[in-house]
Structure 1
Amino acid sequence: MKKSLFLFLFLLVSLIQAQPSDEKINTLIERFVELGQFSGSVLVAENDEIILSKGYGFANQEWEIPNSPDTKFRIGSVTKQFTSMLIFQLLEEGKLSLDDKLSDHLDYYRKDTGEKITILQLLNHTSGIPSYTNADSFFQKTGKIKADPKEFILEYCSGDLDFEPGSQFVYNNSAYFILGAVVEEITGTTYEQALTKMILEPLEMSCTGYDYHLKIIAKRADGYRKTYIFPQNDDFVDMSTPYAAGALYSTTGDLFKWHKGLLSNKLISEETKKIMLTPVKNDYANGWFVQKMKFESGDSITAYSHSGGINGFNSLIYRVPEKNQVVIALANMIPASVNAIVRGSIEILNGEQVDFPHTSLASLIAKKVKDDPQFDIYNFYQKFKNSEDFNNFPSVERENNSLGYELLNNNLFDAAIDIFKINTELYPQSFNVYDSMGEALAKAEKNEEAIASYQKALELNPNLISSIEALKKLGVDIKVPEKIQLTDDEIKLISGKYELSSSFVITIYNEDEKIMAKASGQPSIELTPTSATNFYNNQIPIQIEFNKNEEGVIESLSLFQNGQKYPGKKVE
């Protein structure tokens, strides 16, 4: 039996390797669809020739209307490259300079910061303005209002600076919202009108536009939250709030026109385009990430890309101008495996071997529960973990937790508790799994067990606010422990840059007596110490341990997340 299975898998891999590129890519995408990790449309092209253009899954699940190449999707932050292009077009017209101050164009913006921040800093996320989407109230409240650009900027995009302009890179939606208002002030038109006249009409992008909830838009997809068992529409967001930072919809075909337009000089000159696509900090170039993609063979390519994520939708455009290759993946589910699909497609185009995704443990259990709501999850796991097949179904802490909460939110308490219990056995050093299990036990009114689980979470993370508050509600008298204060020498010892990969660096630094960590392309987070070398974050389930050599000098760190350990060498 094992020999037959091996022979089958060998033949399957051999058949896939023998397929033409379009069939290989299609097989890869269909595997992600089969695993419930993608629904949308994909376009792959090389040398201006479309290799694959196809829809997968449903644009509307209720009516089972399939996605197609001309389905329209919200593209989220891919909008930013269009806003950037408008700014560089206005630059060529002599209507602004990249060194202009924000206050030069928006006279209503607060002068103390507006006179410090340049247009270029807004474009490359180095302005220091707090991003309005980072506020706790955004998704519950702010994202649902109808926003007037000026009023919204004054209310939500005018906070005190997080850092001195130009000194750091922190991805920022406020900056691109403000740039949309700059476009309106200079052109005397709405952002939508400027976009249509200056970009969409010249490139004949008739299937792209500014999205409105109330407007009937033909072939527009509905957006869904990725689930394991119970399909779910995603939350409403008024598209006036993402505005110039993320309010557009498009098709894969129209974004292919955009790619070809960027290869030409139809919109801006070659000289201006070179400025637009030159990185400033953290490999970010005014609406584009510019990074080397390395293959297993040792070859590498330079790619220009940007992703987008907005309620119910994921997107990614990935361009390799040196080979005239482009992959565009638009999904009407979030999260979706657009990154893996795009990377796999690029690897196939360049003759590389691609690993196909496996069914995860969470997906396997979810399928069994979907087939039989009374399925005994924990008893199955106890037997399955000792079988030869167990390692063929990778476990991911985050996925297991998501399945647990999906079951919990649908009042399947016992099933949810089983999943969280399995997660505590697989990831016994993760405070997050015990906190989640405590929540499920409390909802099931198993208070004593819930208390024990929350207390275990606090053993691993003594300042975990969610567990502390939950214990108080359960009648446990508990105090927040005093925060450990590090000496200046201890802080200096751990400060620096740690390289986990060629494109992922974590910078540790001191800011106002707080230990901060900033990963490539991500906002800074505060680290709370449990000792001079061990830290965690209260909001994100991560832990960081700094490692000393024999001389007592910090030489590396270990990042613990989702049950995995990621080493990073200190490079600066």
Structure 2
Amino acid sequence: MSISINLINFYIMKKAFLFLIILETIVNSVSSQSISDLLDGYYAYNRFNGSVLVARNGEIVFQQNYGFADRENKYPVKESSLFNLASVTKVFTATAILKLHEDGKLSIYDKVDKYIPGFINDNTDSLTLINLLNHTSGMSANLAQTDNSSNHGKIVVSDSEIVTTDQLISRFRDTNLNSRPGEKFNYNNYGYLLLGYIIEKVTGMDYLDYLNKDIFSVAGMTNTFGQRFLPEQPVNGYIGIGTTNIMPVKEDMFPGWLIGAAGLYSSVSDLHKFLEAILSQRLLNEETLNLMLDTCFVINKGNKLWTVGWEKNVLDGVNLYSHGGSIKGFSTRIGFVPEENISIVILSNLVKDKSQDGPSSVNYSWVDEITEDIVRIMKGKNVAYLPMPAKKHGNLKTGSYLLDDVNFINITSRKDSLFLETDNQGNITLFNYNLYKEITDLSSEYEVCKIFVSYITSGDLKDFGKYADDKMKKAAFDEKGNVATIDFWNYIVSKAGKCSSVSIYNKDEQNGSKNYSLAFHLDKAEVLMQLSFNDNSQINGFYILKVFPKCDIHTVKLIPTGKNEYFVNGYSYGGFKDFHVKYDKPAKRISFESGNEVITASRQINSRVTMSK
């Protein structure tokens, strides 16, 4: 009898085990399929090119390469392709410093002066290695520039000049502190160059030699190198993200500038090994790992903090630790979620052309958004996908559609494609339509918004603080804050021309505050700001939301994505927002959706069909 029972128990356990395997396979395949859908959309619109790897519990659940490592010769991206990591190098520097801390060869609480006496010309008694690690040093010195002489900094030495680390340190010795160490977060490349230098002084080894010995070899990494020791041609970098005008670009910065702060090259699989070595405590023991992850500094009012070497982002209830890097032609990010034992590697060799930058905030790449969406997918959350193009454009009728009593759009057809057109004599386009709509409001807060407009456009915020609560008076509308805001405004005006009009285009209530959104219409740009008010109608928040180029795009292509569904690829027209378009045939109405924004247009009954060749 006991044998039979054991056999039955074994059979039940075997079935349960098989069920768990099947269930895990299904979960992983669903995640992989969803991640694939996400990346396929980015790739379809030239918003991503490179390698992606996602793992859970040490097992790879998604890995895919997209596009070309060398477009000119049609060489595809491979698993072993070497990407310029840019600032992702910093996580290796931070890990090395923590390893030396763990081994008792230094302490992250040591003063920097202990290793580099007189490295700047200021009181550095409280400036420690941890301040360099979490970017709270307060130093004005930064790689390639110092802002001792002006607000915008001055170039100390050209990027391509051959210079040693000792020479760089000498050039920065006469710089000062901008703030007390530990007081403010200010991302600083020079601090990580100093950390790389300290690694060499403490170990008596070359920076890369130490990484090879105590980091790369321990993690099993065999495909990570410094710029000067590349065994093969790395992936080429390109500009032109989101467009069809993709061009090669090369970073000419001398490697001596980069030690500790940037300069490493690696592959998606090698970086996976590094993250797994971190999570499995093979590189750092539990105490040191906790020190790395829990030593946090708040870097803004959102959910982001900076730890020892990593940015910490509270994302949908879990902690995402990650670090990004950007340099000409490349954008990278690696990260992990300890609670879920998830690790992510994203390497891209396609970015925007920064030489064309005006006063705008157009995405440099989409690596950060992809990283966060992958975390959400792995947690079973829904994310927005870029729709894949379809062949047929459905039943959308050409002709005129009314947006309101004054403005309208035309849907035209040429060469089997549909296009949306707005009046090219006016300011209104699909991308800025809602920014020109003035809300109807009789509140005192609305009146304060109009007063703010008159103050800032006149170039003087003096006395405006009387409309703010005590906290905001000190934080944003004291003498220093007013000067900073007016300096920003004058800079924008100098780049984008005069302000012709202002619209108070949106009002909402969140977290107990009434929020008013303002659009300043300049000659060459739109500047979006927000004023928030408490229950006493006092300003308790002031934000500069976004600056982007003035839109003069009056014709856009409607890309078919399904039955009576279309997509407007806004990014391809200069970094504007995308729209998902739906045509309600019975109602003869078009809806345009972008995030929470919805625009509707109804077809005129006597609309004349417009056809173009």
Deviations, residues 299-323 of structure 1 (Å, cap 9, x unaligned): x222211111111111111211222
Q: Label 1:546 to 1:183 Cα distance change in 2 as closer, same or farther (>3 A).
A: same
1:570 — aligned with what?
Answer: none
The offset of 1:462, in angstroms, is: 11
Asked if 1:327 corresponds to 2:344, the answer is: yes
Correspondence 1:229 to 2:231:
no
Tell me if structure 2 keeps the 8 A contact 1:103–1:111.
no
Matching residue of 1:351: 380
Structure-1 residue corresponding to 2:38:
28
Matched position secondary structure for 2:343: strand
Separation in structure 1 between the aligned mates of residue 236 and residue 111 of structure 2, nearest angstrom: 40
Q: How does 1:4-403 map to 2 (within 5 A)?
A: 20-110=30-120, 112-130=122-140, 131-132=142-143, 142-156=158-172, 159-212=175-228, 216-218=230-232, 220-227=234-241, 228-238=243-253, 239-282=255-298, 283-294=305-316, 300-334=317-351, 335-357=364-386, 385-387=409-411
- Structure 2 spans left out of the alignment, 5+ residues: 1-26, 147-151, 299-304, 352-363, 390-406, 438-452, 493-498, 503-515, 549-575, 578-593, 597-613
Q: Which of the two has greater helix per residue?
A: 1
Q: Which amino acid aligns with 2:538?
A: V
Distance 1:27 1:352 in 2: 14
Shift of 1:173: 1.2
CA distance in 2, matches of 1:358, 1:30: 9
Letter in 2 for 1:291: N
Change (3 A) 1:226 1:386: same
- The count of corresponding residues between Structure 1 and Structure 2 is 437
Match of 1:6 in 2: none
Per mean C-alpha deviation after superposition, the further-off stretch among 421-430 and 486-495 is 421-430
Specify every segment of 5 or more residues in structure 1 that has no aligned partner in the other structure, as ranges.
1-16, 295-299, 361-382, 396-416, 431-459, 464-480, 499-506, 518-524, 568-572
CA spacing shift, 1:232–1:132, aligned 2, 3 Å: same
Q: 1:486 aligns with which of 442, 462, 467?
A: 462
Query: Is the 2:68–2:74 Cα contact (8 Å) retained in structure 1?
Result: yes
Determine the C-alpha separation between the residues in 1 that align with 2:347 and 2:155.
22
* 1:475-512 Cα distance to aligned partner (Å, 9 max, x none): xxxxxx984152495497485499xxxxxxxx747575
8 Å contact kept, 1:491–1:510? no
Shift of 1:544: 2.9
Contact 2:100/2:106 (8 A) holds in 1? yes
Q: Which has the higher strand share?
A: 2
CA distance in 2, matches of 1:109, 1:126: 16
1:440-488 residue CA offsets vs partner (Å, 9 max, x unmatched):
xxxxxxxxxxxxxxxxxxxx9999xxxxxxxxxxxxxxxxx98415249
Percent identity at matched positions?
25
Change (3 A) 1:494 1:193: farther
Could you tell me how far 1:339 is from its partner in structure 2? 2.0
* One-letter amino acid of the counterpart of residue 314, structure 2: K
The TM-score normalised by the length of structure 2 is 0.62
Report the Cα offset of residue 115 of structure 1.
3.3
1:319 aligned counterpart, secondary structure = strand
Q: Is the 8 A contact 1:75 1:308 kept in 2?
A: yes
What is the rounded CA distance, in whole Å, between the counterparts of 1:511 and 1:202 in structure 2?
54
SS at match of 1:27: helix
Q: How far apart in 2 are the matches of 1:229 and 1:139? A: 34
CA distance in 1, matches of 2:295, 2:211: 24
What is the CA–CA distance in structure 1 between the aligned matches of 2:275 and 2:426, rounded to whole Å? 44
**CA pair 560-257 structure 1, distance change in 2 beyond 3 A:** closer
Structure 2 distance, partners of 1:140, 1:356, is: 44
TM-aligned CA deviation for residue 340 of structure 1 = 2.6
- Amino acid in the other structure paired with 2:330: F
SS at match of 2:219: coil
Structure 1 residue 422 displacement after superposition: 5.5
**1:140/1:68 CA distance change after superposition, 3 Å:** farther
Residue pair 2:105, 2:202 contacting (<8 A) in 1 also = yes
1:121 CA drift (Å): 0.7
When residues 566 and 62 of structure 1 are mapped into structure 2, their CA distance, relative to the original with a 3 A threshold, is closer
Tell me by how many angstroms 1:273 deviates: 1.4
**Structure 1 position 341, deviation (Å):** 2.3
Q: Distance in 2 between matches of 1:275 and 1:47?
A: 22
Residue aligned with 1:182, SS: helix
Other-structure match for 2:599 = none
- Aligned residue in 2 for 1:478: none
| 1:225–1:233 Cα contact (<8 Å) kept | yes
Deviations 1:210-242 (A, max 9, x none): 123xx5532510111134232212242323323
Contact 1:70 1:219 in 2 (8 A): no
Q: Deviations over 1:237-271 (max 9, x none)?
A: 32332321121111111111111111233222211
Name the residue aligned to 2:538: 553
> CA 1:558–1:99 in 2, change beyond 3 Å: closer, same or farther?
closer
Q: Distance in 1 between matches of 2:209 and 2:294?
A: 28
Alignment CA distance shift 1:253-1:511 (3 Å):
farther
| Structure 1 residue 153, shift from structure 2 partner | 2.6
Once the two structures are overlaid, the 10-residue window that deviates more, 195-204 or 230-239, is 230-239
Quick one: distance in 2 between partners of 1:124 and 1:108?
A: 21
- Secondary structure of the residue aligned to 1:20 is helix
Q: Which amino acid aligns with 1:250?
A: S
CA distance in 2, matches of 1:511, 1:270: 47
Whether the aligned pair in 2 keeps the contact of 1:560 and 1:566 (CA below 8 Å) is no
Amino acid at match of 2:232: A
Contact 2:467 2:538 in 1 (8 A): no
Conserved 8 A contact 1:129-1:158: no
Supply the distance in 1 between the matched residues of 2:318 and 2:31 (Cα, whole angstroms): 18
What is the CA–CA distance in structure 1 between the aligned matches of 2:96 and 2:205, rounded to whole Å? 13
Asked which structure has the greater CA Rg, the reply is 2
- Maintained 8 Å contact 1:527/1:535: no
Distance in 1 between residues matched to 2:426 and 2:231, nearest whole Å: 41
Instruction: Give the Å deviation of 1:58.
Output: 0.4
Pair 428,543 (structure 1): closer, same or farther in 2 beyond 3 Å: closer
